[in-house]
A and B are shown apart, each in its own frame.
Chain A
Amino acid sequence: MRIDCHNHCSGVRGRWPSVEDVVAGMGKLGIGRTCCSFPITRGDAGPDDVREANDDILGCMQRFPDAILGQCFVNPGYARHAQDEITRCVVDGGMSGVKLYHQYRIDEPVQFPIVERCIELGIPVLMHAGHPTTPDSMPGQPRLSSGEHFVQVAGRYPEAMLICAHIGGGGDWEWQLKALREAPNVFLDTSGSVIDQGMIERCVRDLGAERLLFGTDMNLVRGVGKLLDARVTERQREKVLGLNFSKLLRRRRI
Chain B
Amino acid sequence: MIYDADMWIGHWPFRALPYHSATDLLRQMDAHGIEKGLVGSLHGLFYKDSHEANRELAKELGRRRDRLVPCAVLNPTYYGWEEDLKQCHEEFGMPVLRLVPDYHGYSLADHVAAEITEAAHGLKMRVALFGRIVDPRGRHPLDPGREADGAAIAAFLRKFPSASFLMLNFADSPERRRWDEPACHFDIVRFVGGGGRRLQTLIAEYGADRLLFGSALLMRYAKPTLMALEMCDLSRQERERILWRNLAALVAGMG
Question: Does A193 count as interface, using CB distance less than 8 angstroms?
Answer: yes
List chain A positions with a Cβ less than 8 A from chain B.
17, 21, 24-25, 28-29, 130, 132-134, 137-138, 170-174, 193-199, 201, 218-222, 224-226, 228-230
CB nearest neighbor in A for B192: A221
Given contacts A21-B197, A224-B227, A225-B227, contact A201 B18 (CB under 8 A): yes
B250 CB-CB contact with A under 8 Å: no
- List the B side residues contacting A198 at CB < 8 Å: 16-19
- Interface 1/0s, chain B 177-219, versus A by CB < 8 A? 0000000000000001111110000000000000000000111
| Distance, CA A132 to CA B135, complexed state (A) | 11
Interface residues of B (CB under 8 A from A): 15-19, 134-141, 192-197, 217-228, 231
User: Does B196 lie within 8 Å of A174, measured CB to CB?
Assistant: no
Residues of A within 8 A of B219 (CB): 196-197
Q: Name B221's contact: one of A171, A195, A218 (CB within 8 Å).
A: A195
Question: B136, B140, B141, B224: which contacts A225 (Cβ < 8 A)?
Answer: B224
B17 touches which of A134, A174, A197, A220 (Cβ 8 Å)? A197
A29-B195, A221-B196 as given contacts; A197 in contact with B138, CB under 8 Å = no
A194 engages B228 (CB within 8 Å):
no
What are 18 inter-chain pairs, A to B, with CB distance below 8 A?
Answer: A28-B196, A134-B141, A137-B136, A137-B137, A170-B138, A171-B137, A196-B220, A197-B19, A197-B217, A218-B193, A219-B193, A220-B194, A221-B192, A221-B227, A222-B193, A222-B224, A225-B221, A229-B223
- Roughly how many angstroms separate A198 CA and B194 CA in the complex, as a whole number? 23
- Flag if B224 contacts A195 (CB, 8 Å): yes
Whole-angstrom CA separation of A198 from B11 in the bound complex:
14
Question: Are B137 and A174 touching (Cβ within 8 A)?
Answer: no
- Contact between A230 and B221, CB atoms less than 8 A apart: yes
A168 to nearest B CB, angstroms?
9
CB <8 Å contact, B193 and A221? yes
A223 and chain B: residue at smallest CB distance: B224
Give min CB distance, A9 to chain B, whole Å: 12
